Amino acid sequence: MKLKNILWAGLSALALVSCDDYLEVEAPSSSTDEFVYSYKSEINRALNGVYAKAIVGDLYGNAYQRTFVYNSDVDMQIDANNAASSDGNAYARFDCNHRGGEILKYWTASYRLIEYANRFIAGVESSEFYKVQDADVMQQLGEAKCLRAMAYHDLVVMFGDVPFKFAPTAGNSSDELPPVMSRSAVQDSIIKDLQEIAPYMVSSKTSTVERCSREFAHALIARVALTAGGYSLHPVKDNERSYGEMKRPDNYKDYYEIAMLYADSVIMAGTHKLTQNYQDVFVNPCNYLVVNGDDVIFELPFAKLSTGNTGYIQGPTYSAYEGNTVGAWGAASGNGRLSAFYRFLFRDNDIRREFVNGMWYYSYVQNADGVMVDTVYIRNDYTVHNNKWSKLWTAESNALGSETTGSTGINFPYMRYADVLLMYAEAANELNDGPTEKAIQCLTEVHNRAFIDGDPTFIAEAQAGKDAFQKAVLDERKWEFAGENSRWRDLVRTNTYSQELVYSFLRYYSAGSQNASGFCGYEDAINEHDGRMYIDNLPERIYYHAYRIGEANVRALAAFATQLYGYQISNGIVLKQYPNQSLKSIRLYNAYERARQEPPKGLITVGGFSAESWLKADFYQWGNTDIGVPKDQCLYSFYGFIRGDVNGNIWLVRDGALEMLPSTIPSVEQLPVVRYILPYPEDVISRSSGLYKNYYGYK
């Protein structure tokens, strides 16, 4: 039986009561603490209650995967909030305030998890099992400490300095408000806490990745330490208008030492490898397969039809027609999107590019004969789908049902071995003022999985020096972790977020301007930054096929696959197909070139294709030709940091004031900071009676 089934069977008898107050939490069992922590079976049930608080929708079940994934050159949200005025709840475009409802939900869910963990930890540490250091109970104690560390780590990343304590709230009351602690003090505390408990935890060699293991504890230490040693946004407390300043601690190298040491301990343990195909790392969880000893080190254990929106958020949209039920899989929102330009930022022949960038979606519609059928459409939009996960990748025999939506039960990987390898590479490069042999090996291991030939020129160029290697590691992370709430955090840590956001904005602005008026003026700068000429030569008309995969089609495609976007090819052989072979999918012709001519007749005439079967769609039609400027989606998707206007101006936002973007892109030091830090929720501030206060220009 999978752990998630055991967990939820245990939860059925627990009293997990929600509440309005972020520190007012029911005890993790209806029984007394003395009873609970006197029996191993009850301790395990109480630990299940801690896990249950981690996988709710307001935390890792949905919000972490969707709401608080900020816009960048990888992840991208463009929706109805992208207007010329402030919304207050548009977090991805840095446009929010302390009254945002989603902020309060995330804050409350985080502190509920922390309170449950604190109660569990205090109960265990007062038990007889703890006094004799019983192996089973010490492992469970470590799991609770890992979950608590996760919550505090992500709170610090998103809110900066936060209220902090390790003790449970006395008397089940919200009267005791913990003081705000500096982020470095919080990070030091959770690093020390994990260092002390990790030796008592079991190896993932003998555990499941649905539980926190010693390797996960070590990897989490490395992640916290690397974050602590990197840059972050700090308040300027004597200037209420200031959005803050980017700084890193004077002793940042001490944190890099910790990160390298604990990443290396995971590597040296030898319990994790990158043996799975990249696609299978994500498709296997969609089929409820738990793979131990490979890339995933810890994945959040969701339960089918109960928790988790993984695969509902990501993957193609699948919608119903006039209220009809939707196929075997049920509806999928598909709103966890990627930048429309992300696919142009990959190196050629990277198999991740073809798998991750989803260019189609589905609707369950009525055909001319009155029959309901699954119909596939090309996604010629401002964003593309993230095809890592999808409920549609689940085998039809195991699909959730036509009337389902979220609560997919598909696990989400919070920590992967690829991340550990790249954390080691980054830390070693920083500490040694250039890449070490082992750092190069770590980067190579991740990069090689994505390339049939290993792409040796990339690795050779990465070794040119410290800066070149740092860029290579960040590029590798860019290609590797789309949709895993990683990219914006990497850019913050390395103090490159402001610059990357400028170019992310300009890509959209340039495409919209070329369509509206034929001119932008920043194309050369974009091409130079991205390392390839493409932005002024986008494929405005793309031809494609829509079909179900079959062996005849695969044979026909093999001879022509080098020009079809959406297949992984080596020497004319199809290496990997998309996981759902029941529904039609789309393959694009010349998706990286300006295709002004229809594909030649007779290009594919076997295996179900004919010369007349090509379809076509127009892309990048993002200009308001009436006034000669890009549409709102291009102007305002980065609203709180950089935006355009209907008069053809581009504005940077510095401490709430607008300033014109120069014709030459400023350096990071000259650009304004990105106000990615979230404000404390209004409700929390009011209940603190002045103990908590917002900075960063929030009022």
pLDDT in tens, 456-499: 999 999 999 999 999 999 999 999 999 999 999 999 999 999 99
Question: With the C-alpha atoms ordered 428, 433, 438, 442, is the resulting torsion angle positive or negative?
Answer: positive
Helix (H) or strand (E) run with residue 544 in it: strand 541-547
Distances (CA, A) of 659 to 239, 639, 666: 19, 13, 12
pLDDT in tens, 615-648: 889 999 999 999 999 999 999 999 999 999 999 9
> How much is the pLDDT for 170?
75
Burial class (CB in 10 A: 0-12, 13-18, 19+), 644: buried
Mean pLDDT lowest for which of 469-473, 536-540, 593-597?
Answer: 593-597
Cα–Cα distance for residue pair 535/458, rounded to 1 Å: 22
Write out pLDDT tens, residues 80-105: 667 888 888 999 999 999 998 999 99
| Other residues' Cβ atoms within 10 Å of the Cβ of residue 669 | 9
Beta strands in 177-228 (DSSP E): 180-181
H or E element, residue 114: helix 101-125
With beta carbons less than 8 A apart as the criterion, state whether 492 and 72 touch.
Answer: no
The answer for residues whose C-beta is within 8 angstroms of residue 661's C-beta and 6 or more apart is 502, 642, 650, 651, 652
What is the average per-residue pLDDT within 516-530? 93
Name the percent of the chain lying above pLDDT 70: 88
Per-residue pLDDT, 370: 86
* Residue 457 CB burial class (10 angstroms; 0-12, 13-18, ≥19): exposed
Confidence of residue 22 (pLDDT cuts 50, 70, 90): very low
pLDDT, residue 83, reads 84
Note the pLDDT of residue 551.
47
Q: What angle do CA 245, 238, 654 make, to 5 degrees?
A: 40
Hey, what are 524's tokens?
């050369």
Given pLDDT bands bounded at 50, 70 and 90, which one contains residue 140?
very high
Mean of the per-residue pLDDT values for the chain?
89
Question: 365: number of CA atoms within 13 Å, CB side?
Answer: 8
Predicted confidence at residue 392, as pLDDT, reads 96
28: pLDDT confidence band, cut at 50, 70 and 90?
very low
Q: Which tokens hold the place of 493?
A: 């840590």
pLDDT at residue 9 greater than cutoff 50? no
Q: What is residue 165's predicted lDDT score, i.e. its pLDDT?
A: 95
What is the pLDDT, as a whole number, of residue 591? Answer: 73
Residue 332 per-residue DSSP state: B
The Cα-based distances of 540 to 436, 570, 596, 601 in angstroms read 44, 28, 8, 21
Q: Sketch out the chain's domains with CATH numbers.
A: 3-268 (1.25.40.390)
Q: What is the pTM of this model?
A: 0.93
